[in-house]
């Protein structure tokens, strides 16, 4: 299933980034979440799907609209009962770029992400953006090391 923007209709209350070996394992935590099952970092109250698209756009130089047209981020599990829970996968390009990013690059991505959000009428705190990116980059490094993937669960 591809990202179609409907997933961004509301800010997610729970945003959990995590590392899993494959899509099936990641889909298995749709209901209960990854805590205690996979290495994860929880956040809340931001539109993670749009953020991930922006991160990849900033890190790779590809236009956000092009990434969305390619089906990014790729949904691997979706609540069947009409709920908002879903799990999506990072692209391998985003995983690799985050894993390789040093502090200076993460600072630039955080600043640009906050700037883009401000243009869209949001006011994402650049310091919080940096904290999120630092934690997610740590997961990306772990994923690269273990030949796993990075996912996000929204609930």
Pick left, alpha or beta for residue 62 (phi over 0 → left; psi -120 to 50 → alpha; otherwise beta).
Answer: beta
Asked which of 16-20, 39-43, 125-129 is least confident by mean pLDDT, the reply is: 125-129
Q: What is the mean pLDDT of residues 112-135?
A: 84
76 in any annotated domain = yes
78 in any annotated domain = yes
Q: What number of helices (H) and strands (E) belong to the chain?
A: 6, 5
71 in any annotated domain = yes
Asked if 82 contacts 11 with a C-beta cutoff of 8 angstroms, the reply is no
CA dist 39 and 17 (Å) reads 9
Q: Count the domains in the chain.
A: 1
Tell me, what CATH number does 44's domain have? Answer: 3.40.1760
1 in any annotated domain = no
Asked if 3 contacts 152 with a C-beta cutoff of 8 angstroms, the reply is no
Instruction: Quote the pLDDT of residue 97.
Output: 98
**Range of the structural domain that residue 73 is part of:** 6-154
């Amino acid at each position: 299933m591809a990202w179609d923007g409907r997933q961004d209709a509301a800010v997610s209350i729970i945003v959990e980034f995590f590392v899993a070996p494959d899509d099936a394992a990641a889909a298995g935590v749709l209901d209960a979440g990854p805590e205690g099952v996979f290495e994860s970092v929880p956040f809340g109250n931001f539109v993670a799907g749009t953020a991930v698209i922006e991160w990849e756009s900033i890190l790779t130089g590809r236009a956000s609209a092009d990434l969305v047209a390619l089906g990014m981020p790729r949904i691997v599990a979706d609540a069947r009962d009409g709920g908002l829970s879903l799990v999506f996968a990072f692209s391998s390009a985003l995983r690799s770029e985050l894993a390789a990013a040093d502090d200076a690059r993460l600072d630039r991505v955080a600043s640009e992400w906050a700037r883009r959000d401000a243009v869209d009428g949001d006011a994402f705190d650049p310091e919080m953006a940096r904290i999120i990116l630092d934690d997610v980059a740590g997961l990306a490094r772990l994923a690269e090391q273990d030949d796993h993937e990075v996912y996000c669960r929204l609930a």
